[in-house]
Structure 1
Amino acid sequence: MTTRRTFLKTAAAGLPLITTPLASTTLPIANETKPGHIKLSCNLYSFNEPLTTGQMTLEQVLAFCADLGFDAVDPTAYYFPNYPTLPADNYVYDIKRMAFRLGLDISGTGVRNDFTLPDPAQRKAQIDLVKNWIGFAARFGAPNLRVFSGKTLTAGQNRDAVTNRVADALRECTDYGARHGVMIALQNHADFIETADHVLQLLTMVGSEWLTVNLDIGSFRIGDPYAQIARLAPHAATWQIKENLYVDGKEVETDLNKIVRIVRESGYRGYLPIETLGKGDPRVKVPVFLDKVRKALAVAG
């Protein structure tokens, strides 16, 4: 009589021995016959005012986003109680459970940090902050943690020296993130990072698959933002799609059709978080902007 153990041994004997290494980790590029799968997320900075003034709780925002049909949410760390102190595990798991029961994935999270600080002790504190929240991201189920480079270069500072400091800090955090299964997503934020070249330089210097880009379309203030977005799109692991961006430093409404074309042509697959800014009730603004993004995606196919 054939037992389960005998069957498994027999089946295994018929399998070829795999001696070659795993295939390259390069992501597949979408094409016209197989478009990249895009899911919509809400960056909860859209609800910054009601969250920080107590008008809405994090739980209420999650429920609102679920009702709108978002696939995921991206709650920044400072919306958890007592930031930058880590929240209690039971609270983290309660929010994680609630999101799951609402049908929401966690597309990412983020922190406030500054790696441009000249003082080594202060910079170490910033690195430790990011490491702490990498641990949080792992427990929370967030695949990436958004970080900044740091503040704008001030008079008398040498850009190359500051770039080296930022790269060293990113490298340490990225190595730590890799050990916890959390990618570091570097966000361009019109600060020390002003251009696509600045981002690409740091990616090259760190040289890790675990350092990716959080592509903030509204934070390029020099020249043509669409050209810079297109250059960074192949490196993006997450985005911030905003209502407005800056063309030659002038704020204008985002051409969502153009942005979606860039997303599609880059082969991006994954979450496309939207973020509304400025005055107005996000319970009104977010549904309106979400509808515009959905229509642009439908036009692109």
Structure 2
Amino acid sequence: MPSIERRSFIKNGAFGIVSLAMLPGISGYKAMLDPATKAQFKISLAQWSLNRSLRNKTMDHLDFARLAASDFGIYGIEYVNTFFKDKASDSKYLAEMNARAGDAGVEQLLIMIDGEGGLAELDDTIRTAAVTNHYKWVEAAKTLGCHSIRVNAYGVSDDRAALHAAAVDGLGMLTSFAEKVGINVIVENHGGLSSDGKWLAGVIKEVNMPGCGTLPDFGNFCLRQADDGMGHSSCVDEYDRYQGVEELMPFAKAVSAKSYDFDAAGNETTIDFQRMVSIVKKSGYKGYLGIEYEGSRLSEHEGIKATKKLLDRLIP
């Protein structure tokens, strides 16, 4: 389809393609629902993998879709709201994102939301404000044809039961809003109690709404960090990552294949990817595995390519 025609189609059709309420990923879920589909998984790219380039302005947010396709051969992308923070309600900017993705043949899968408040805050007023802060991102996700927004079940307390109740309330309120426009609300293990697989699974079970699920991340299972006295923090209490992913997979609507570094054989040095992929397969999940490279030794491009090469070797 010529570029101009495609841009017109995307602009005029963006609202129609998201009417498949509560299905995680439009074209992605065609693969998930079709028993004749050969591949159980597709590979997507999380924008955070390129956070250094985006932060130092050597890459523009609007080039993400094109770069994913041209540099990595990846045709599903996962945004981070940090990189277009003031554009959630900018219809022209979102239309340009649609056009860029359409021109590249790339599917926009989800938006990871940070900085809008914790959905498990114990104070009712603060928690409700956080829920409301997410509404604009639900609408943005709808405009972009995404299936989900990723949120944080965060709150400040040592009381597990109180945080559980607050998370159920906050997620329930937000999901009630999001379900009306066909967008899922998915929670990532992302620090604090959300990195406790059993706790988060219990929250999702109690919310008990089809549009509320999880985004298991292979790497984010630190429950508590401490300062090492030299200005750096390190994890001092970590949940078993394999147990955590297994506990969260029954509710998964997306998966983050977090990576840090690789050995000479191309294997990830911190995470047993073969074991993780086996857990994901065993759960029955079919859909996208999102590359989220977070290492420092390799460049962003090298790290993404190394992660993709490893996943290509492990998945059908």
Post-superposition Cα deviations, 1:117-166, rounded to whole Å, max 9, x if no partner, equal 33333222211111221111111111010001014x54xx4221222111
Q: CA contact under 8 A between 1:35 and 1:264: conserved in structure 2?
A: no
Among 89, 96, 99, which residue is 2:98 paired with? 96
Once the two structures are superposed, the pairs formed by residues 175-254 of structure 1 within 5 Å of their partners are 175-221=176-222, 222-244=238-260, 253-254=270-271
1:226 partner letter: Y
- Runs of at least 5 residues in structure 2 that lack an aligned partner in the other structure: 1-22, 24-28, 223-237, 262-267
2:306 partner letter: V
Compute the TM-score of the two structures, normalised by the length of structure 1: 0.79
Shift of 1:64: 1.8
Post-superposition Cα deviations, 1:53-101, rounded to whole Å, max 9, x if no partner, equal 2110023332221011112000111211xx2562411111111121122
**2:277 corresponds to 1:273:** no
Aligned to 1:291: 309
Write the distance in 1 (CA, Å) between the matches of 2:38 and 2:165: 38
Among 105, 108, 111, which residue is 1:106 paired with? 108
Number of residue-to-residue matches in the alignment: 262
Q: Secondary structure at the residue paired with 2:180?
A: helix
Write the distance in 1 (CA, Å) between the matches of 2:92 and 2:150: 23
Post-superposition Cα deviations, 1:169-198, rounded to whole Å, max 9, x if no partner, equal 100001111001000011111223232111
Once the two structures are superposed, the pairs formed by residues 108-147 of structure 1 within 5 Å of their partners are 108-112=110-114, 113-147=117-151
Q: CA contact under 8 A between 1:35 and 1:267: conserved in structure 2?
A: no
Among 22, 35, 47, which residue is 1:44 paired with? 47
Pair 35,220 (structure 1): closer, same or farther in 2 beyond 3 Å: farther
- Runs of at least 5 residues in structure 1 that lack an aligned partner in the other structure: 1-24, 246-250
Aligned to 1:55: 58
Shift of 1:244: 4.7
2:119 partner letter: F
Shift of 1:231: 2.5
Q: Secondary structure at the residue paired with 1:231?
A: helix
Compute the TM-score of the two structures, normalised by the length of structure 2: 0.76
Write the distance in 1 (CA, Å) between the matches of 2:219 and 2:112: 17
Q: CA contact under 8 A between 1:243 and 1:276: conserved in structure 2?
A: yes
Aligned to 2:11: none
Larger Rg, first or second structure (1 or 2): 1
Shift of 1:261: 1.4
Write the distance in 1 (CA, Å) between the matches of 2:293 and 2:78: 13
Write the distance in 1 (CA, Å) between the matches of 2:122 and 2:279: 37
Q: CA contact under 8 A between 1:99 and 1:105: conserved in structure 2?
A: yes
Aligned to 2:68: 65
Write the distance in 2 (CA, Å) between the matches of 1:278 and 1:29: 30
Q: Secondary structure at the residue paired with 1:237?
A: coil
Q: CA contact under 8 A between 1:43 and 1:73: conserved in structure 2?
A: yes
Shift of 1:228: 2.4
Aligned to 2:79: 75
Q: Secondary structure at the residue paired with 1:192?
A: helix
1:149 partner letter: A
2:217 partner letter: D
Q: CA contact under 8 A between 2:188 and 2:217: conserved in structure 1?
A: yes
Pair 255,226 (structure 1): closer, same or farther in 2 beyond 3 Å: same
Q: CA contact under 8 A between 2:32 and 2:287: conserved in structure 1?
A: no
Pair 244,166 (structure 1): closer, same or farther in 2 beyond 3 Å: same
Aligned to 2:162: 161
2:174 partner letter: C
Pair 149,223 (structure 1): closer, same or farther in 2 beyond 3 Å: closer
1:242 partner letter: K
1:146 partner letter: R
Q: CA contact under 8 A between 1:29 and 1:267: conserved in structure 2?
A: no
1:257 partner letter: Q
2:137 partner letter: W
Pair 170,61 (structure 1): closer, same or farther in 2 beyond 3 Å: same
1:230 partner letter: E
Amino-acid identity (%): 20
